[in-house]
Chains A and B, each alone.
Chain A
Amino acid sequence: MAKDRATPGSQTSLREANRARIVSAVQQRGSITQVELSGVTGLSPATISNIVKELALAGVLRTTPTSRSGRRALQVTLARTVGLVAGVHFADRSLRVALADVSHHVVAEQRLPLPREHRADDGLDRAALMIEEMVDALDSTLAEVLAVGVGLPAPVDVRTGQVSAVGLMRGWDGVVVPEVLGRRLGLPVHTDNDANLGTLAEARLGAARGARNAVYVRVAHGVGAGLLLDGRVFHGRSGAAGELGHVPVVDDGLECRCGGRGCLETVVGAPALLARLRPTHGHLTLRDVVTRALDGDEACREVVTDAGTHLGVAIAAVCAIVDPELVVVGGELAHAGALLLRPLDVALAARVMTSTAGPVAVTASALGDQAEVRGALALALDAYQVGSAMPVGVVRS
């Protein structure tokens, strides 16, 4: 029925548009109750109820009884039969691959530690193998995979999928990931910067749910940030928006891998933190620093709190420009919790203009280490228009 074009403004076209709006709302959030659906789409509960019932009968949506705040409610998800999506997150020292069904339910996940300065060809080959093996382990085939989303720790031009930064990831400059991985797997592949994907995931499923404007800061081996502006992830000219780690903070400071000097990353990036501890603690990993800081090791605590302060100062500048509702902090160092967040919050609060809207909220990532890979799954789901495979018209924006 979606095939025959309805006259604009007619009852039919309105209903069609409402259906598409509901499907895309369910798709974006994975699973949502009917009541929340009405809040998100702005449609009346009666309309929602009717359309959901219809779509459930058509095998597009699935409803399960649940309860919200003690009241009975209906949980709405996409029907499982539609297919799988794969999410891939390359970090500086690890590769994470997850498979999810179209309702954002993660059905398989695996993390592979990677060597320092891992190479693009080898890394993408391993990612492809992991996807194949994991799909196989689910008794499924690659044909059932709808799309693949990939997050990289460097700026990515989202129009072409090309790594647009030069020198940030040795051996990855100019690599067009969708082309290489797409050829290898025979699937549509979409790429974005990992901090941007973390932002997307936190906005859809995590700590920034419901926010229109937010900043997500990823503090791991390197430092990156994603900007949620007016409900959308902001990419800039070539995907390098939010490269917080490469904002100069020290005049004539240490040389940075980006070619600059005194970047934030040379102060709070993992190599900088580990170098500070090397004389007293010898060889450590970032994981060790967090664990020891939490265990009460004074030097490690100091390194983490100092990093928090430096980050707070840098984030204050971001807040002055984008005026976000909240700042979400993720990445490996965020496991230190209040040790990192409190000094960050203090430094930030002292530098942000006083506003009638109150101070900027600072919170830890709700999705933790999974944020970026969940964002990659969301990217894949967004790119694959679930509506197009089903008897539902897609709203053309």
Chain B
Amino acid sequence: MNPHVPSPRPTGPAPRTAPVSARPPAVLSLRGVSQSFGAVRALVDVDLDVHAREVVAVVGDNGAGKSTLVGVMSGVTVPDSGEVMLEGVPVQLGSPAVARQLGIATVFQDLALCADLDVVENLFLGHEVRRGPVLDEIAMEREAWRLLAQLAARVPSVRVPVATLSGGQRQAVAIARALLGEPRVVILDEPTAALGVTQTAEVLNLVERLRDRGHGVVLVSHNMADVQAVADRVVVLRRGRLNGDFDADTARYEDIIAAITGASPALSGGSRAAQPRHPRGETS
């Protein structure tokens, strides 16, 4: 497997839509991505842009296609059609490992942490730092503290089993692990689900810090309060289609909810989803 590694900045053709502002091209772009599972069309012709230093929230009802979209961006699912581009260069995200190598790190909802292992072991599981034949525990521990400090995460010790940590702290460990390869985009799938309000606060602070460090962040969430608190842009999925792209500073809560439920087609500039009108109450 030889992933097509993009050059740091596209030198040839300019990005397809020359922006009016001096804004650099999106770090991660999806163009016309579609994915079907049998007769179910999970994603239909989805476009999405994620810029550096930007939190893009993806919201939508159950079955709207959020998880499939996360799958496509994290390399778990290879879409039936459409393009994935990194800084304007088309790439093939054949597997999660490739996606990671290209700088897209995903923190899945189950966090995929080993409860019995301590924080350092979890962070470096599978890519331990070695010095000669032995593990370089000191270097790993130092790096673990550095990553957690960057996130200003409050973890009592990096040598305690993850099982003893709170939900928010576990989330912090999972995000720290995602930061190991200095990714450009971090995808967080429902990071505040099943957390108390204090831990939610912790995670939302982490999201802000990721953004301020220059990462592009994709935040998939059900919770509109969380989304509107930290997102720069809110993208709405409905029945696998893009049903709205809102500036979080100006969009009203009611408009976003309307786009999620399909109460009215609320399209703003930038999205080209052609959504047939679904009158209220018409459900399959």
Q: Are A130 and B230 in contact (CB under 8 A)?
A: no
* Max chain A C-beta neighbours (<10 A), residue from B202, B204, B225, B230: B225
Assess whether A280 is interfacial by the CB under 8 Å rule: yes
**Would A134 and B198 be within 8 Å (CB), given that A113-B208, A116-B249, A283-B232 are in contact?**
yes
User: When A and B form their complex, what is the total count of cross-chain residue pairs whose Cβ atoms lie within 8 Å?
Assistant: 63
**Would A115 and B229 be within 8 Å (CB), given that A283-B249, A291-B212 are in contact?**
yes
Select which of A110, A122, A287 is within 8 A of B202 by beta carbon.
Answer: A110
Q: Are A130 and B198 in contact (CB under 8 A)?
A: yes
Q: Are B229 and A114 in contact (CB under 8 A)?
A: yes
Q: Are B228 and A110 in contact (CB under 8 A)?
A: no
Question: Chain B interface secondary structure, helix, strand, loop or mixed?
Answer: helix
By a CB distance below 8 angstroms, the chain A residues around B54 are 283
Assess whether B233 is interfacial by the CB under 8 Å rule: yes
Select which of B22, B201, B247 is within 8 A of A112 by beta carbon.
Answer: B201
Interface set, chain B 1-46, CB cutoff 8 A to A: 21-23
Please report the C-alpha to C-alpha distance between residue A280 and residue B205 in the assembled complex, in whole angstroms.
27
Assess whether A212 is interfacial by the CB under 8 Å rule: no
Q: Are B249 and A274 in contact (CB under 8 A)?
A: yes
Output the least CB separation between A282 and chain B (Å).
5
By a CB distance below 8 angstroms, the chain A residues around B22 are 280-281
Output the least CB separation between A209 and chain B (Å).
28
Q: Are A130 and B212 in contact (CB under 8 A)?
A: no
Q: Are A113 and B204 in contact (CB under 8 A)?
A: yes
Assess whether A389 is interfacial by the CB under 8 Å rule: no
Please report the C-alpha to C-alpha distance between residue A116 and residue B248 in the assembled complex, in whole angstroms.
9
**Would A93 and B205 be within 8 Å (CB), given that A116-B249, A129-B197 are in contact?**
no
Output the least CB separation between A125 and chain B (Å).
9
By a CB distance below 8 angstroms, the chain A residues around B248 are 116
Assess whether A111 is interfacial by the CB under 8 Å rule: yes
By a CB distance below 8 angstroms, the chain A residues around B233 are 283
Assess whether B101 is interfacial by the CB under 8 Å rule: no
Please report the C-alpha to C-alpha distance between residue A274 and residue B249 in the assembled complex, in whole angstroms.
10
Assess whether A279 is interfacial by the CB under 8 Å rule: yes
**Would A112 and B204 be within 8 Å (CB), given that A129-B197, A133-B197, A282-B23 are in contact?**
yes
Assess whether A126 is interfacial by the CB under 8 Å rule: yes
- Residues of B in contact, count (CB < 8 Å): 27
Q: Are A113 and B197 in contact (CB under 8 A)?
A: no
* Max chain A C-beta neighbours (<10 A), residue from B23, B196, B229: B229
Interface string of A320-363 (1 = CB under 8 A from B): 00000000000000000000000000000000000000000000
Q: Are A133 and B225 in contact (CB under 8 A)?
A: no
Interface set, chain A 99-131, CB cutoff 8 A to B: 110-116, 118, 122, 126, 129-130
Q: Are B21 and A280 in contact (CB under 8 A)?
A: yes
By a CB distance below 8 angstroms, the chain A residues around B239 are none
By a CB distance below 8 angstroms, the chain A residues around B247 are 283
Nearest residue (CB) in A for B224 is A115
Select which of B21, B212, B230 is within 8 A of A279 by beta carbon.
Answer: B21
**Would A110 and B212 be within 8 Å (CB), given that A115-B225, A115-B229, A274-B249 are in contact?**
no
By a CB distance below 8 angstroms, the chain B residues around A118 are 225
Output the least CB separation between A359 and chain B (Å).
36
Assess whether B184 is interfacial by the CB under 8 Å rule: no
Interface set, chain A 77-94, CB cutoff 8 A to B: 93
Please report the C-alpha to C-alpha distance between residue A133 and residue B166 in the assembled complex, in whole angstroms.
12
**Would A129 and B21 be within 8 Å (CB), given that A116-B249, A291-B212 are in contact?**
no
Please report the C-alpha to C-alpha distance between residue A28 and residue B267 in the assembled complex, in whole angstroms.
55
Interface set, chain A 274-292, CB cutoff 8 A to B: 274, 279-283, 285, 287-288, 291
By a CB distance below 8 angstroms, the chain B residues around A287 are 208, 212
Please report the C-alpha to C-alpha distance between residue A63 and residue B22 in the assembled complex, in whole angstroms.
60
Q: Are A130 and B201 in contact (CB under 8 A)?
A: yes
Output the least CB separation between A20 and chain B (Å).
37
Assess whether B238 is interfacial by the CB under 8 Å rule: no
Select which of B196, B202, B232 is within 8 A of A129 by beta carbon.
Answer: B196
Interface string of A116-159 (1 = CB under 8 A from B): 10100010001001100110010000000000000000000000
By a CB distance below 8 angstroms, the chain B residues around A291 are 212
List the interface of chain A (C-beta within 8 A of B): 93, 95, 110-116, 118, 122, 126, 129-130, 133-134, 137, 274, 279-283, 285, 287-288, 291
Q: Which 7 A-B pairs have the closest CB atoms?
A: A115-B228, A112-B201, A113-B229, A133-B198, A129-B197, A113-B204, A115-B229
25 contacts between A and B (CB under 8 A): A93-B229, A110-B198, A111-B201, A112-B197, A112-B200, A112-B229, A113-B201, A113-B208, A113-B229, A115-B225, A115-B253, A116-B228, A116-B248, A118-B225, A122-B225, A126-B197, A129-B198, A130-B198, A130-B201, A133-B196, A134-B198, A280-B21, A285-B232, A287-B212, A288-B53
List the interface of chain B (C-beta within 8 A of A): 21-23, 53-54, 196-198, 200-202, 204-205, 208, 212, 224-225, 227-230, 232-233, 247-249, 253
12 further contact pairs, Cβ within 8 A, besides A112-B229, A116-B248, A137-B198: A93-B229, A112-B201, A113-B208, A113-B230, A114-B229, A115-B224, A115-B228, A116-B228, A126-B197, A283-B232, A283-B247, A291-B212
